[in-house]
């Protein structure tokens, strides 16, 4: 039985999760299965933020933390302050979701700040992985899937209705402002773009 390298890509708009590992080349009727038997590496990219990589334990805590927090949102739980799974800590501050990744390589933790749309993309990306867990023969760390109903997105978006509505209003305002002469909306003294990764 031959061992081959295999990679699986899960993407949802602004979020991309890539798993890499080894698989036993099980040939049945001249076909090859695409199951990952041993996970060796993973990477997560959220929009323009630096790509994240880590150990399997860090991925496990990330998946469990995001799934746990999203489940509480879906169940309209009153306590949405934070969730802590050891290596990953999620909390909601003002209008941002702050994900704290406890680094095992340096003394400084990594802080990610996600808006509503980015957090929803992360949840759907991870849930896509969970729904397809049948493709993995020995990755037993995956939780139960959140998405089992067609109205999942509508139900999940319900708690974010006000922020999303506000975003739509602001976007429409920006669109109308673009109809004005360029000199009224173009600012040459804009501050440089600041990274969303915050180092305390």
pLDDT at residue 27 in the model? 58
Q: Which residue has the higher pLDDT, 1 or 171?
A: 1
151-197 per-position pLDDT tens digit: 444 444 444 544 544 554 445 555 444 443 433 333 333 343 333 44
Alpha helix (H) residue ranges in the chain:
56-74, 116-131, 152-157, 161-177, 182-185
User: What per-residue confidence (pLDDT) applies to 16?
Assistant: 92
CATH number of 2-157: 2.30.31.10
For residues 34 and 147, the model is more confident at 34
| C-alpha distance from residue 181 to each of 86, 169, 178, 188, 190 (Å) | 52, 21, 7, 15, 18
């Amino acid at each position: 039985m031959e061992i081959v390298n295999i990679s699986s890509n899960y993407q949802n708009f602004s979020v991309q999760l890539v798993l890499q590992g080894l698989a036993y080349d099980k040939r049945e009727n001249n076909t090859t299965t695409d199951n990952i038997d041993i996970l060796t590496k993973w990477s997560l990219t959220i929009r323009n933020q630096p790509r994240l990589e880590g150990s399997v334990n860090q991925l496990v805590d990330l998946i469990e933390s995001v799934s746990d927090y999203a489940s509480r949102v879906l169940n309209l739980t009153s306590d949405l302050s934070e969730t802590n799974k050891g290596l990953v800590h999620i909390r909601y501050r003002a209008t941002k979701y702050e994900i704290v990744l406890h680094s095992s390589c340096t003394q400084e933790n990594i802080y990610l700040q996600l808006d509503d749309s980015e957090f929803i993309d992360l949840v759907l990306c991870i849930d896509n992985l969970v729904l397809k867990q049948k493709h993995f023969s020995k990755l037993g760390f995956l939780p139960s899937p959140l998405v089992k109903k067609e109205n999942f997105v509508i139900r999940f978006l319900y708690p974010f209705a006000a922020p999303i509505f506000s975003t739509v209003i602001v976007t429409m305002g920006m669109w109308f402002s673009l109809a004005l002469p360029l000199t009224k909306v173009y600012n040459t003294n804009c501050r440089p773009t600041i990274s969303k990764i915050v180092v305390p």
